[in-house]
Structure 1
């Protein structure tokens, strides 16, 4: 019982992995930009007091 993979399954697998990776990177970028924005807002608030 050997496992045989043709090009269609390999390309489908790679496409799914790439989509997951891009989604993870995009989510990480959103979190980083949110943290930077909240840090800037807090430092501005500290300067007012």
Structure 2
């Protein structure tokens, strides 16, 4: 429940926040680093519910 960006939803009781891909240079070596992660199941389910028009 964020007063500015929305109220609590029974479909997703947390912020819809996910970093699909992060890339940066290692601070000591400068080596490029990249990490990726699939969308968590609860966020995927919330997307599907939104596509169906559920709130």
Alignment TM class, shorter chain as reference: under 0.3
TM-score (normalised: structure 2): 0.23
Higher RCO (C-alpha under 8 Å, 6+ residues apart): 2
When you count strand as a share of all residues, which structure comes out higher? 2
When you count helix as a share of all residues, which structure comes out higher? 1
